[in-house]
Structure 1
Amino acid sequence: MCGNLGLYIHVPFCGRKCAYCDFYSVNWSKSAAVDYTAAVLRNIRHYGDASRIVDTVYFGGGTPSLLTSQQIGSIIAEIRSSFQLEDDAEITLEANPCTLNGEKLAELRNIGVNRLSIGVQSMIDEELKLLGRVHDVKRAEQAVLDAAKAGFENISCDLMIALPDQTSESLRFSAERMTSLPVQHISAYILKTEEGTAFDCDDIRGRLPDDDRTAELYLEMTELLEKQGFMQYEVSNFAKKGFESRHNCRYWKCEDYLGIGPAAHSCYEGKRFAVERDLAAFVSSKVQQVTVTDDSPCGFEEFAMLRLRLKEGLLLSDVEEHRNDILKKLPPLVKEGYAETDGERIWLTAKGFLMSNSVIEYLVF
């Protein structure tokens, strides 16, 4: 048991599958959403522990904003009843711009949602069409403006980079237009062609930037966002001061989180486990069926790897018995501009984040 707890609620519904997405999702229907919500509520009651303080709740998906405000409110109320939900808990809802309007946003604020993560992806209509998004730029902008008007002061937008045919100019246009909106956080992801998706084809792969060009776009985006006041705090995440995602940071700090819903993952009470990617099985089971993926998580390698994903990096005093081995390997990384150190802490540069898997593997394993 590691202090406070975060809850992740996986909402598997989508209105339409995006061309690049391999996350678990199914088509939304009114009856399926009712059955799903009932299953979430009984699972929260099953795991409930009045001694555990919940300080972050994250509704991810899929498209969680396809649920009604009443359904989301009932889940938050059950969390409050089954755990100790902090008064200032960060409660995030992922949302598609097309599912938001002024009335729903006001309802979400009233039931306790205080952070939105809006799946914008691009501020260019042609790119949005290519990605299979159902909104256009005008709708995305209006969703953000409506959210701010409804009282949301913690709004995040997704930005995708290394898109087919993307240029420095088009990426700059999207980033500048997005950061001109009343948002406090940007999650910037490099597009990957996942097996089995619509983008898993020669036509798309032939239009993607190569590794060197992708690296250039990533570094250009990092510089631009930081000039706009969005400082990088994790490989793919940038925030104005004080608006870092508290829930996502607990993943990188090996803090406890409990996942509920089909395809949800957990690091809870000394084990990592995952729920089957099957909505019907989740709905029909009294308690979600899980598979243990690691019965001894957060050992040295994993702890160091996750900490090095954060800009604040790895504190050597937290891995004292490995200090000398790490310091022996560090000089070439510093010389090549992949990492920096003050003698007690090691962190990766933006260039190092680009090669994070290789750099961390060299340094830690």
Structure 2
Amino acid sequence: MSDLGIYIHVPFCGKKCGYCDFYSACYSKQQAELYVSAVIRNIRHYGDGERKVDTVYFGGGTPSLLSPHQLGEILGCIGECFDVDKDAEVTIEANPNTLTPKRLAGYRDVGINRLSIGVQSMNDRELKMLGRTHTAERAEKAVRDAHEAGFGNISCDLMTALPHQDVNSLDSTIERLTELPIQHISAYILKVEEGTPFDCDDIRSVLPDEEKTAGLYLHMVETLEKHGFMQYEVSNFARKGFESRHNCRYWKCRDYLGIGPSAHSCYMGKRFAVPRDLEGFIGSEVQQTEITDESPCGFEEYAMLRLRLREGLLLSRVPEHRADIEKKLPALISAGYAEYNGECVHLTAKGFLMSNSVIEYLIF
């Protein structure tokens, strides 16, 4: 049986950001304790003591609202119920405001070895517009404190195509970020999600148009790579050897088990999701799930996910589709969207920018 990644969705936030459509609820100490107990019940339900686990990822929400003790209880239970690799990558997403030296030391002590810090920008005006409660100075301190606490694998989130953002402000953020002791950057284009507070004319009217958004994205890719952060996926950049092992599971159709309200899984040959309902999750002996795909990772899904990665799609893995793909490649190559070496096709930075359309043309 193949190895496994475990994703824990921690749904608590101190303050909901206006652009975010991930499931979250207001934090309370009592709810957090009940939530941790429910997570542990579910780990015991799924665990068999034998399945090898080599990545654990706490996403949210704001997982760093949980204490080191609470996260340690969860990790301890995973260790009892699964065969956890001694070199497992264990990640927690964190808000800079929650990361004190004491808390960071506690996270290290319970086995967390990778941080993903929600910086978003190193420009205070942009941070305020996004509704973030930290400043650029606070984000910088959080990263430096994490490094001092012994974290050698730190990722920061970066957002581009923000209202009024230009190349100069983006460059300033990138320069300041890449001077910090970090190894990974997840860089996202701001997308207005339906039903969020940003889904309004006031925000849409000040967003950059498609041409400017494209220019900012391509400039970001080029600048990050000049600083040693190579693009290995549409929105992810890393120094060599620091690619997110857990997230690569998603793009390589490898098994992962999701626990918590709104968590998704690709596990035991099926895809399934947990309802976006904290009370329901806490109140159930075992989390309720809804099957979303009875037979995942067929050709179309496999090819689509592989093409999100810079390493691309090896056509020898899909021999029955090779001829059809090769017929379509010349147009993509001449437009600068893809490259092909006779065995593997991968998208360029320009192709990643148009990835949905390019992938749809290539494989559907």
> Is TM > 0.5 for Structure 1 vs Structure 2?
yes
Aligned to 1:333: 332
Q: Aligned ranges for residues 32-51 of structure 1 at < 5 Å?
A: 32-51=31-50
Supply the distance in 1 between the matched residues of 2:72 and 2:4 (Cα, whole angstroms).
19
Supply the distance in 2 between the matched residues of 1:190 and 1:113 (Cα, whole angstroms).
28
Question: Does structure 1 residue 287 correspond to structure 2 residue 286?
Answer: yes
AA aligned to 1:211 is E
Aligned to 1:274: 273
Residue 195 of structure 1 deviates from its aligned partner by: 1.3
Supply the distance in 2 between the matched residues of 1:228 and 1:113 (Cα, whole angstroms).
27
Q: Aligned ranges for residues 1-365 of structure 1 at < 5 Å?
A: 1=1, 3-365=2-364
Supply the distance in 2 between the matched residues of 1:6 and 1:103 (Cα, whole angstroms).
28
What SS does the corresponding residue of 1:181 show, helix, strand or coil? coil
Supply the distance in 2 between the matched residues of 1:284 and 1:249 (Cα, whole angstroms).
32
Residue 76 of structure 1 deviates from its aligned partner by: 0.4
Q: Any runs of at least 4 consecutive aligned residues in structure 1 with deviations exceeding 2 A, and if so which?
A: none
Residue 213 of structure 1 deviates from its aligned partner by: 0.6
- Work out the percentage of aligned pairs sharing the same amino acid: 70
Supply the distance in 1 between the matched residues of 2:136 and 2:3 (Cα, whole angstroms).
39
Supply the distance in 2 between the matched residues of 1:126 and 1:199 (Cα, whole angstroms).
16
Residue 50 of structure 1 deviates from its aligned partner by: 1.7
Supply the distance in 2 between the matched residues of 1:195 and 1:49 (Cα, whole angstroms).
40
Give me the TM-score of the superposition, normalised by structure 1.
0.99
What SS does the corresponding residue of 2:185 show, helix, strand or coil? strand
Supply the distance in 1 between the matched residues of 2:165 and 2:316 (Cα, whole angstroms).
43
Supply the distance in 2 between the matched residues of 1:344 and 1:141 (Cα, whole angstroms).
43
AA aligned to 1:316 is L
Residue 128 of structure 1 deviates from its aligned partner by: 0.5
Supply the distance in 1 between the matched residues of 2:140 and 2:48 (Cα, whole angstroms).
40
TM-superposition CA deviations, 1:63-83 (whole Å, max 9, x none): 000001000000000000000
AA aligned to 1:100 is L
TM-superposition CA deviations, 1:79-138 (whole Å, max 9, x none): 000000000000000000000010110111111000000000000001101100010111
AA aligned to 1:105 is L
Residue 39 of structure 1 deviates from its aligned partner by: 0.1
Supply the distance in 2 between the matched residues of 1:99 and 1:218 (Cα, whole angstroms).
30
Supply the distance in 1 between the matched residues of 2:146 and 2:346 (Cα, whole angstroms).
35
Residue 27 of structure 1 deviates from its aligned partner by: 0.3
Residue 197 of structure 1 deviates from its aligned partner by: 1.2
AA aligned to 1:247 is H
In the alignment, structure 2 segments of 5+ residues that lack a partner are: none
Supply the distance in 2 between the matched residues of 1:209 and 1:133 (Cα, whole angstroms).
20
Aligned residues: 364
- The alignment's C-alpha RMSD in Å is 0.5
AA aligned to 2:234 is V
TM-superposition CA deviations, 1:10-54 (whole Å, max 9, x none): 000000000111110000000000000000000000000222100
Supply the distance in 2 between the matched residues of 1:286 and 1:133 (Cα, whole angstroms).
35
What SS does the corresponding residue of 2:329 show, helix, strand or coil? helix
What SS does the corresponding residue of 2:318 show, helix, strand or coil? helix
Residue 155 of structure 1 deviates from its aligned partner by: 0.1
